[in-house]
Every structure is written in structure tokens, then in C-alpha cells.
Amino acid sequence: MLDARGGSARNVTLLICGAGDRGRNHGLNAAHHAENASVVGVAEPREFFRAEAASTHGIPAENVFSDWRAMAARDRFADAVVVSTLDHLHVEPVEAFAKKGYHILLEKPIAPTEPECQRIVSAVKKAGVVFGVCHVLRYTDYNRKIKEVIDSGALGEVVNIQHLEPVAYWHQAHSYVRGNWRNEKESSFMLLAKSCHDIDLIHYFVNDDCTAVSSFGSLKHFRKSEQPPGAADRCLDCTVEANCPYSARRIYLERLRRGHRDWPVNVVDPNPSEETLTEALRSGPYGRCVYSCDNDVVDNQVVNMTFARGQTASFTMTAFTDSSGRQTRIFGTRGQLTGDSQVIKVYDFLTDTTTTIDTRAGSGDITGGHGGGDYHLMRRFVEAVRRNDQSLLLSGADETLASHRIVFAAERARRTNRVVTL
């Protein structure tokens, strides 16, 4: 039952708009709250994922839609909606659901262009709904502990941040060469699609206005000119595939043979067997040679930032890494912090001592996604909806738009080879 303020008296009810990998996980995290939240509707054009969501959450047939427009056309029948469609399909559903009064959790990025981001921010502010973007890095135990260290004054004033996002060689091949985010016209540029998380995190840690950025980056490796001699355009037909770290056979079939059926395997085939996965690789986009795809997003990029009080930051995104986590170094006037996504070390200049903080949770279930960030974001969103209290989220529309503007400025700097002021 909806209360007078638009929240839920007890159970918070949610709709899922886009039930692919991210929408599925958001739904599971919501369901993990048991008595606190439930998924009561889904819109998803692909039959398998639509049926899976309906079955998982016990959604009645009248609340299952193949098109989000049909769901939005109904009178409001839930408290909130999770919009997890593809990047370029964010604006219209957010505007439609906001107009109906739904509280909204939106997958990052807000949208592929700055004007579209502004449209979404204007729509949710006009509607007065609770609004969150899935910058889940803010919500991990690890990053929340870093923020606590900064806010405690242990580092003094933050002067410089160095931050690395190691995408992982196979993840780049899966998502940004063969997959949905490979081509800017179909999704968005790499820094926005993958690394707006990280720019937002730097902005969060510095806690000041960014005033100027520069950036360099390129599509260095995953292009036709780098294809090995004798390679075929499909991995299953290739005579040199066994010597390629990006082989689709290696990334998908070998994972399945080890019993791994979840992401990224289930993106290629939602219900994989060796036979059906092989056929998907033989005929579908994920079986293509990484040197013979229609990808155009960069595979490496650096960004330099300066902030209002003279602080500086540098960010590196690269495909050519193992699967280890993000790495951060923060240099302050009284100390230094280093972190590897699990363990934080804080060195104190005054005492010449190092304090170690181990944030490893060890959770292998759904609540461990993105270092626990997925779960903690959903937990806070559910409570924000229940109380109709935007402040329970770690960033709102304006702050998220500000960090997105840094991303857009950095990409302009990369393309024009100049420093861009904000």
C-alpha cells in the first residue's frame, strides 16, 4: 500500500525495466531484503530473461511486459522502478516513470550525451522523486572505509589521487570488443560506459569542484591491423586461435567446462550447454575474432584532473591487465593511503607508522557483487523510498550530473588534444 508521501508503509515494491544481467542482479538484491522489498513487475523484450524474472519473483502475468511503454502506460502500481535498459535507451523510460511518480534507480551512465543527462535530471527533480544512479563503487565496504579515513583527517588535506581501473583483458574482449558496449553509436564512449564509476569516485574522495581536465587514449590493439597472420574472422574457424588469449573458445567454452554458467557465459547463451554455446559462438557476435569486430571504443585511456583548491588527480583505464581489482593511492598533507580494492594501508607522517585495514568480506553470494556495492546500494535505495528521503543515498541528481560532466569534458579533451575547463 502506498502512503501519502509516495513511499511504502511496509514493503517497498519495485518494477524492473530491462531484465538483462544488471537488471537481474538488482532484482535479486531487492529480493534479498525479504520482508522489506519485492519485485512486482518486469518489462523485458527478450522472452528468456522476461520469463526468468517473472518466475524468480513470482510476478503475476498481468505485470509482465515485453515493452516498457506498456508498463509505464498503466496507473502507478509500485513504489519504484529500476531502469537497466541499454545506455541509449534511458531517457524516455525515466521521463515516463518520473511523470507517473515512481522513485527511480537508474543504471550508470545517466545517458550517452550531456543534454540527455540534463533531461533526465530535470525530469526527476521536477517530479520530486527519490533518484539514484548505480555508482555502486561509493557503496562498497572498501571505498566507504577510504572515505572514512579521508573524512577523519588522518591524511590531512588530500593533495593528489592516483587511481587505476584494470578492466581485464578478457572483460574488454567480452564487453567492449564483441559485446553491447563495443561501439559508440550503439552505447557510449568507453570512459562513460565503463569508467564513469571511477571518475565519480575520485570526485567523491576529493569533495571539490573539478576545474580542468586533459586526456589521452586510443584503440591501440583490438583492430584489424593487429590481427595475427592466418587468423580467421571467427574463433571456431581459426587455426591460430589456440595461441590467442582473447579466444572465444577459451573465454566461454572453457569456462563452461569448468562449471561456470553465470556472467559472462550466460550473456552469450542464457541457458548454456556445450552444444548451444558452441552454436552461439559459431553464429553470434561473441564468436568473432577480436581483431575483426565493429568496435571503436578505446582500449586504454588516461585522464588528468585539477580541482578548485589546487588538488590534482590522475586516472588510468587499461584493458591489458589481469582480473585484479582497482588500485588507489591518495597523498595528503599528513599521510598516504594505498589500496588494492581489499586491503587499505594508511601511513602517518607524524608517527612514521602504517595502519592496515582489511575489508575483505568473503561473500560469494549475490550480496558480494561489485565488492558488496550492488547490495548496499539497493539496501539504501529501498530505505530511501520507504522514508521518501533522498539523503539516504550517497549521491543525488546534481552530484551525479557533476561527475558525468567531468567525464564528458575528459572525452572532449581526448578528442581535441587540449585542456578543457569546466
pLDDT tens for each residue of 168-220: 999 999 999 999 999 999 889 999 999 999 999 999 999 999 999 999 999 99
* 243-270: pLDDT as tens digits: 999 999 999 999 999 999 999 999 999 9
Q: Grid coordinates in use for 26?
A: 538488482
pLDDT of residue 31: 83
Position 7 in a domain: no
**pLDDT for the residue numbered 366:** 36
Other C-beta atoms closer than 10 Å to the C-beta of 157 total 12
Kindly state the average pLDDT of the residues 58-75.
98
Least confident of 8-17, 359-368, 389-398: 359-368
191 and 312, same domain (yes or no) = yes
pLDDT score, position 55: 96
Contact between residue 98 and residue 129 where contact means Cβ atoms under 8 Å apart? yes
pLDDT in tens, 294-350: 999 999 999 999 999 999 999 999 999 998 899 999 999 999 999 999 999 999 999
Confirm whether 262 is domain-assigned.
Answer: yes
Mean of the per-residue pLDDT values for the chain? 94
Q: What is the pLDDT of residue 1?
A: 34
Among 264, 287, 310, which residue terminates a domain? 287
- Statement to judge: residues 35 and 172 lie in one domain: no
User: Does one domain contain both 211 and 234?
Assistant: no
pLDDT band for position 371 (cuts 50, 70, 90): low
CA separation for the pair 216, 230 (Å, rounded): 32
Which of these ranges, 20-24, 142-146, 199-203, 336-340, has the smallest mean pLDDT? 20-24
161 lies in the same domain as 279: no
In a domain, 2, yes or no: no
340 and 198 belong to one structural domain: yes
So what's the pLDDT on residue 363?
44
Please give the average per-residue pLDDT across 17-38, as a whole number.
86
If pLDDT is split at 50, 70 and 90, which confidence band does 34 have? low
| pLDDT band at residue 35 using 50, 70 and 90 as cut-offs | low
Cβ count near 79 (within 10 Å): 27
Assigned domain for 6 exists: no
Residue 187 located in a structural domain: yes
Distances (CA, A) of 214 to 194, 328, 413: 18, 20, 5
Domain range for 31 is: 12-129
Residue 343 falls inside a structural domain: yes
358, part of any domain: yes
Alpha-carbon span 112 to 407, nearest angstrom: 11
Q: What is the pTM of this model?
A: 0.92
pLDDT of residue 5: 41
Residues 6 or more apart whose Cβ sits within 8 Å of residue 89: 18
Mean pLDDT within 56-82: 97
SS3 state at 86: coil
Which of 129, 150, 165 marks a domain boundary? 129
Q: Is residue 1 part of a domain?
A: no
Residue 274 has pLDDT above 90, yes or no: yes
Percent of the chain with pLDDT over 90: 90
Report how many domains make up the chain.
3
Q: How long is the chain?
A: 422
Nearest to 97 by CA among 64, 49, 129: 129
Could you tell me if 228 and 211 lie in one domain? Answer: no
Sign, CA dihedral 290-177-375-207, equals positive
Answer for the pair 271, 280: CB distance below 8 angstroms, yes or no. Answer: no
Q: Which of the residue ranges 23-27, 382-386, 409-413 would you say has the lowest mean pLDDT?
A: 23-27
Share of the chain above pLDDT 70, in %: 94
99 and 55 in a single domain? The answer is: yes
